[in-house]
Amino acid sequence: MNDLDLLLLRRRRRRWPVVAGSALLVAGIVAGTVAGLISVQQLQAEVAGLEAELATTRLQEAAAESGEAAGPGTLAPALDPEQVVVEETDGVTSFTDLSTGLRTVVQPVDRSKLTIVGSSTMREMAADFGEFAGRHDAALIDATGGGLLAEHMLAELGSRPFVTDAVDIPASGQTTLTSPNVPVGIQGAFRLSGHFEGYGSASGTISKTEGPATAWTFERDTDGLAVRIPAGTEFVPDLGTEGRDGIAVLNIGKNNLAATDGVGSSDVDELVSWTEDAYRYLSATGKYVLVVGHFQNSGTAADSPARARIQQYNDALRDRFGPRFFDLEAIVTSDDIWTATGITPTAADLAEQRDGNKPDGLSRRVDGAVDPYHLDPVAASTISGLMQSRMVELGWY
Instruction: Encode pLDDT of 235-244 as tens digits.
Output: 999 998 899 9
CB 47 within 8 A of CB 26: yes
The yes-or-no verdict on residue 51 having pLDDT over 80 is no
H helix intervals, the chain = 3-11, 25-31, 40-43, 57-66, 120-123, 126-135, 150-157, 238-243, 254-258, 268-281, 305-321, 328-332, 336-341, 347-354, 377-393
**pTM for this structure?**
0.79
Residue in 317, 319, 320, 282 with CA at minimum distance from that of residue 396: 282
What is the pLDDT, as a whole number, of residue 106? 84
* Average pLDDT along the chain: 83
Mean pLDDT of 355-382: 95
Residue in 261, 264, 251 with CA at minimum distance from that of residue 142: 251
The rounded Cα 240 to chain-centroid distance in angstroms is: 12
The yes-or-no verdict on residue 66 having pLDDT over 70 is no
Task: Please give the C-alpha separations between residue 346 and each of 232, 276, 301, 367, 379, in angstroms, as whole numbers.
Answer: 53, 38, 20, 20, 16
What is the pLDDT, as a whole number, of residue 304? 95
User: What single letter denotes the amino acid at residue 301?
Assistant: A
pLDDT one-digit tens code per residue, 93-113: 888 888 888 888 888 899 999
Q: What whole-number percentage of the chain has pLDDT above 90?
A: 69
CB 71 within 8 A of CB 79: no
The yes-or-no verdict on residue 292 having pLDDT over 90 is yes
